[in-house]
């Protein structure tokens, strides 16, 4: 009896255990779909110190933050107070992880437009925007930005160990020009050109002090030397004129 292609493949799967492998692969992809996505990123972290309403809060050090693609009722509207209280319970006094809109960064009111996350355990972050949406505290408004609400996950995998190891490298180039005056003698033009690379390991909570060396170009001193020689020449000419007048008077007397 000749076996069909399907029967041959079925026999191979049974013998090699590939069926089990396929099931495992499906499960793994299912887990990633629930807990994470390739579009998820943390641009900056901050600590919330004031909730304004159901979709806006103030956080240090980034300032005012607006939740992306959701709207909460105004405080004088039905559901407005409830939305604010829900957001307070989620973020007030807590560290938040912000995925900032890469397209515009801020809205017309200069608020950071973000998908906001808070930590729920050592492995996961909760999408605050989606949680409020799913619990009917806010409604969906798909604004023009980088985000696609339909692709949001309620939870994202972001372990504490991973976040602690996040390293940010900043390269700062600065030009400094200052004028230094020496007492009654010389004016110096001090110009600095310095490039420093700073490596900061998040969370960033320290103050970095950068010292810039400077080089001194003695522009004023050159001008002073020119003035000095000019004065010297004038003095010599005056002395020569005085000597000439004295000799002329002496010759007349003779």
| Backbone φ, ψ for residue 196 (5° rounding) | -125, 135
For residue 179, what are the β-bridge partners?
A: 189
**What CATH architecture is 44-164?**
Beta Barrel (2.40)
Dihedral angle sign, alpha carbons of residues 86, 89, 92, 97: negative
| Helices 18-35/5-16 angle, 10° precision | 80
Write down the mean pLDDT value for the chain: 73
Give the residue among 110, 94, 112, 92 at the shortest CA–CA distance from 102. Answer: 112
Name the pLDDT band for 114 (thresholds 50, 70, 90).
very high
Q: Work out the burial of residue 201: count CB atoms within 10 Å of its CB; fewer than 13 is exposed, 13-18 middle, 19 or more buried.
A: exposed
| pLDDT for 11 | 59
Which residue would you say has higher pLDDT here, 253 or 75?
Answer: 75
Whether 113 has a pLDDT exceeding 80, the answer reads yes
Res. 203 pLDDT band, cuts 50 70 90: very low
* pLDDT on residue 232: 83
How long is the chain?
254
Please name which of 89, 96, 136, 133 lies closest in space to residue 116, comparing C-alpha atoms: 96
Which of 13-27, 135-149, 237-251 has maximum average pLDDT?
A: 135-149
pLDDT of residue 146: 93
HSE-CB of 174 using CA atoms within 13 angstroms: 11
**Minimum mean pLDDT range among 7-11, 83-87, 172-176:** 172-176
Instruction: Name the nearest CA neighbour of 66 among 116, 21, 29, 104.
Output: 116
CA distance 48 to 155: 20
pLDDT of res. 43:
94
Average pLDDT over residues 72-84: 97
Tokens found for residue 47:
């600590």
Query: What tokens appear for 91 in the block?
Result: 């973020």
């Amino acid at each position: 009896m000749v076996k069909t292609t399907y029967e041959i493949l079925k026999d191979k799967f049974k013998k090699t255990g590939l069926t089990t492998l396929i099931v495992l692969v499906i499960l793994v992809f299912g887990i990633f779909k629930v807990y994470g996505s390739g579009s998820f990123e943390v641009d900056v972290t901050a600590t919330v110190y004031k909730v304004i309403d159901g979709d806006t809060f103030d956080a240090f050090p980034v300032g005012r933050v607006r939740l992306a693609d959701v709207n909460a009722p105004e405080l004088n509207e039905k559901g407005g107070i409830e939305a604010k209280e829900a957001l307070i319970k989620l973020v007030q006094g807590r560290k938040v992880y912000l995925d900032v809109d890469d397209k515009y960064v801020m809205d017309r009111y200069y608020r950071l437009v973000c998908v906001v996350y808070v930590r729920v355990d050592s492995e996961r972050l909760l999408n605050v925007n989606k949680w409020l949406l799913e619990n009917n505290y806010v409604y969906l408004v798909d604004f023009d930005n980088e985000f696609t609400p339909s692709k949001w996950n309620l939870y994202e995998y972001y372990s504490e160990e991973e976040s602690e190891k996040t390293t940010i490298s900043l390269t700062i180039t600065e030009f400094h020009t200052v004028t230094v005056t020496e007492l009654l003698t010389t004016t110096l033009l001090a110009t600095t050109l310095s490039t420093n690379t700073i490596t900061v390991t998040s969370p960033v909570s320290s103050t970095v002090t950068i010292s810039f060396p400077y080089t001194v170009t003695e522009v004023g001193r050159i001008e002073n030397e020119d003035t000095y020689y000019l004065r010297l020449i004038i003095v010599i000419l005056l002395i020569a004129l005085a000597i000439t007048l004295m000799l002329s008077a002496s010759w007349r007397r003779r």
